[in-house]
Amino acid sequence: MDKFSEYPTTLTAPARDASTVVPHDTNDLAQLPRALYIGQGGHVSLRMPGGGTVVFANAQGGSFLPLRALGINATGTTASAIVALW
């Protein structure tokens, strides 16, 4: 039973779904996530909805990046086991 099913899903609410990310230089994620979980640390190269690209250097394994990335680039990304949270 989900006592919170009637509450709206906002950016500050816990994620309701997740999906493994396969970095790709042109393919976008299925939808904009609320955050990314970094399973194995390394660099994460992101395409942002505003059109910019940014690299989070040395993202720690087990950390969350609280951002809405359009896509994760294969080029420049050394982190792995990345999960998109919706």
**Domain boundaries of the chain, sorted by first residue:** 18-85
| 13-41 confidence digits (pLDDT tens) | 888 899 999 999 999 999 999 999 999 99
CA distances from 16 to 7, 21, 60, 84 (A): 12, 16, 23, 11
Report pLDDT for 49: 96
Other Cβ atoms closer than 10 A to 65: 18
Please indicate whether residue 70 or residue 6 has the higher confidence score (pLDDT).
70
Please indicate whether residue 7 or residue 19 has the higher confidence score (pLDDT).
19
Taking the model in full, what pTM does it have?
0.90
